[in-house]
Amino acid sequence: MSTHRIAVLPGDGIGVDVTAEALKVLRRIEKKFGHSFRLEEYAVGGALIDRKGVPIDAETLHGCKKADAILYGAVGGPRWDSRPLGQTPLSAILTMRKELDCFANLRPVKLYPALAEASPLKRRIVDRGVDILIIRELTGGLYYSRGRGRDGEGPARRAYDTMEYSLREIERVVRFGFQAALGRRRRLTSIDKENVLETSKFWRETVEAVAPQFPEVRVSHLLVDAAAMRLITDPDTFDVIVTENTFGDILSDEAAVLAGSIGMLPSASLGEGCPGLYEPIHGSAPDIAGKGIANPIAAILTVAMMLQHSFGMPSEARAIEQAVEAVLTRGGRTRDIASGQPGEKMLTTVEMGEAIAGEI
């Protein structure tokens, strides 16, 4: 039996709460399917700032680089908000993505039928089905601006960030998007702001240059503002979306309403040499940390993505997805996905994790 090494970084706030439940499910998979997972925990974010004064250090980075996969919770909180850029808890995940070269962020958005009432959208929209894969470029653009700063005095003060993309950065994530579309419904929507931004013009040109290599995939382009509207009015028209860093961040959070809650959305950050960085897309929500009301499903589905993409275990991944669906169908709910319908049963964070593990 081979042993798979996983670096576990719970982080701050509810990151600690939901990671514990995700690991509970992973251990059940380990037992049921006869695998061996070696878990090595590291501090990151605010937890590491309190301990060492930095959001990420060489020990944590080394642990991530030698792992077969990384399970990440969430970081941040008001107590660290006043720190300068580059020294906040959030800078830890930005550093990890860049250091590990995890350039493609996969964010599946799926509405489980049992949660149709939890979505704020009209039933005539959600009943058409929601199954979207958003692929966000993760290591370029504004978030990694090399032209960033402040200058001037008095009323002339200014701040600036520069969006920059190289051909290689765009090509590799676009190609990743085409390959993902081949395994789905073979439709790819590239989202940009081509009518305003030079980087978006370059992005669209690159998509068009790569497209002939994938003749089976139908390609379309959409401006980001139009895409934001269509996600809400016609989500069933999307299959795979590929877009740059900032647009992908915003659109995937918007898409969370389609699934009923941001607490339902997992993610995987992948790359050619990246061990695989897996995290729920929600934040640390320090106001509800430790209260037993956080939804662990995104973290649990993140483990399913880890099994699928890093360890080549589709049956094990599917077992988790089916367990989540079964618990939801029986009415199991955390506060964020409760709609007040008959048959719903409110569960704590721990109870939801136990219910899903038990179903496996």
3-state helix, strand, coil in the chain (%, to 5): 50, 20, 35
3-state secondary structure of 211: helix
pLDDT in tens, 280-314: 999 999 999 999 999 999 999 999 999 999 999 99
Q: HSE (CB half, 13 Å, CA atoms) of 197?
A: 19
Model-level pTM greater than 0.85? yes
Domains of the chain: 1-102+266-360 (3.40.718.10), 120-148+160-259 (3.40.718.10)
Q: Is the pLDDT of residue 244 over 90?
A: yes
Other Cβ atoms within 10 Å of 178 Cβ, number: 22
Angle at 244 between CA 242 and CA 247, to 5 degrees: 95
CA distance 2 to 36: 7
Nearest to 292 by CA among 356, 349, 227: 349
What pLDDT digit, counting tens, does each position of 80-103 carry?
988 988 899 999 998 999 899 899
Catalytic residues: 143, 193, 225, 249, 253
Tokens of 317: 């991944």
- C-alpha 183/C-alpha 77 separation (Å) is 39
User: Higher confidence at residue 152 or residue 85?
Assistant: 152
Burial class of residue 343 (count of CB atoms within 10 Å of its CB; 0-12, 13-18, 19+): exposed
Q: What is the pLDDT of residues 163-172, one digit of tens each?
A: 999 999 999 9
Confidence of residue 346 (pLDDT cuts 50, 70, 90): very high
